[in-house]
Amino acid sequence: MSRELKNGIFFVGALDRERTLFDGLIPLPDGTSYNSYLVRGSEKIALVDTVEPDKTAVLLGNLEELGVDKIDYVISHHAEQDHSGAIPEILARYPQAQVVTNPKCQKLLMSLLEIDEDRIVTVADGDTLSLGDKTFRFFYTPWVHWPETMCSYLEEDKIAFTCDFFGSHLAGDTLFVSNEQQVQNDAKRYFAQIMMPFRMQIRKNLEKIKALEIDLIAPSHGPVYDKPQMIIDAYSDWVSDTVKNQVVVPYVSMHGSTQKLVDYFSQALAQRSVAVQAFNLVEADIGELAIALVDAATVVIGSPTVLTGPHPAAAQAAFLINLLRPKTKFLSIICSYGWAGKTVEQLKEMTARLQVEFLEPVLVLGRPKRQDLQALDRLADAIVQKHQNIGII
Ligand X SMILES: Cc1cc2nc3c(=O)[nH]c(=O)nc-3n(C[C@H](O)[C@H](O)[C@H](O)COP(=O)(O)O)c2cc1C
The stretch near Fe ion (CB under 5 A) out of 36-44, 132-140, 162-170, 339-347 is 162-170
Q: Is 186 in the site for Fe ion (CB under 5 A)?
A: no
DSSP structure class, residue 118 = G
Q: In the complex with Fe ion, which residue's Cβ is closer, 81 or 135?
A: 81
Binding site partner of 82, from ligand X, Fe ion, none, Cβ cut-off 5-8 A by kind: Fe ion
Distance (Å) of CA 289 to CA 194, 235, 292: 14, 18, 5
Binding site partner of 106, from ligand X, Fe ion, none, Cβ cut-off 5-8 A by kind: none
Q: How far is the CB of 266 from Fe ion (least distance, A)?
A: 35
Q: In the complex with ligand X, which residue's Cβ is closer, 45 or 347?
A: 347
User: 120, 36, 153, 136: which is closest to 83 by C-alpha?
Assistant: 36
Q: Is 164 in the site for Fe ion (CB under 5 A)?
A: yes
Cα(30)–Cα(138) distance, integer angstroms = 31
**Window 312-371: residues binding ligand X (CB under 6 A):** 336-341, 366
Sign of the Cα pseudo-torsion (182, 37, 15, 282, in order): negative
Cα(170)–Cα(148) distance, integer angstroms = 25
Cα(301)–Cα(314) distance, integer angstroms = 7
User: 152, 160, 136, 163: which is closest to 41 by C-alpha?
Assistant: 136
Q: How far is the CB of 261 from ligand X (least distance, A)?
A: 8
Q: In the complex with ligand X, which residue's Cβ is closer, 193 or 305?
A: 305
Out of 145, 327, 329, 387, point to the residue binding Fe ion (CB under 5 A).
Answer: 145
Q: In the complex with ligand X, which residue's Cβ is closer, 25 or 282?
A: 282
Residue 188's contacts (CB-CB under 8 Å, 6 or more residues apart) are: 234, 238, 291, 294
- Residue 260, classified by CB atoms within 10 Å of its CB into exposed (0-12), middle (13-18) or buried (19+), is middle
Q: How far is the CB of 362 from ligand X (least distance, A)?
A: 13
Bridge-based pairing state of the strands 244-251 and 296-306: parallel
The stretch near ligand X (CB under 6 A) out of 87-95, 111-119, 165-173, 298-306 is 298-306
Residue 105 dihedral angles phi and psi, to the nearest 5°: -70, -35
- Residue 70, classified by CB atoms within 10 Å of its CB into exposed (0-12), middle (13-18) or buried (19+), is exposed
Per rule CB under 5 A, count of chain residues that contact Fe ion: 4
Binding site partner of 304, from Fe ion, ligand X, none, Cβ cut-off 5-8 A by kind: ligand X
Q: In the complex with ligand X, which residue's Cβ is closer, 103 or 338?
A: 338
Q: Is 373 in the site for ligand X (CB under 6 A)?
A: no
Distance (Å) of CA 40 to CA 3, 45, 73, 222, 270: 14, 5, 11, 22, 56
Residue 286's contacts (CB-CB under 8 Å, 6 or more residues apart) are: 25, 26, 27, 320
Binding site partner of 199, from Fe ion, ligand X, none, Cβ cut-off 5-8 A by kind: none
Four-point Cα dihedral 371, 373, 376, 380, nearest 10? -120
Q: Which long-range contacts (CB under 8 A, 24 or more apart) does 378-385 make?
A: 379/265, 379/268, 379/300, 379/332, 379/334, 380/265, 380/268, 380/269, 380/271, 380/272, 380/274, 381/272, 383/247, 383/269, 383/272, 383/274, 383/298, 383/330, 383/332, 383/359, 384/272, 384/274
Q: Is 307 in the site for ligand X (CB under 6 A)?
A: yes
Per rule CB under 6 A, count of chain residues that contact ligand X: 18
The stretch near ligand X (CB under 6 A) out of 68-76, 190-198, 237-245, 300-308 is 300-308
Out of 305, 332, 346, 351, point to the residue binding ligand X (CB under 6 A).
Answer: 305
Out of 85, 219, 228, 304, point to the residue binding ligand X (CB under 6 A).
Answer: 304
The stretch near Fe ion (CB under 5 A) out of 56-64, 137-145, 347-355, 365-373 is 137-145
Q: How far is the CB of 334 from ligand X (least distance, A)?
A: 10
Task: Fill in the per-residue mask, 61 to 100: x = in contact with Fe ion (CB under 5 A), - = not in contact.
Answer: -------------------x-x------------------
Task: Fill in the per-residue mask, 221 to 260: x = in contact with ligand X (CB under 6 A), - = not in contact.
Answer: --------------------------------xxxxxx--
Binding site partner of 149, from ligand X, Fe ion, none, Cβ cut-off 5-8 A by kind: none
Binding site for ligand X (CB under 6 A): 253-258, 304-308, 336-341, 366
Binding site for Fe ion (CB under 5 A): 80, 82, 145, 164
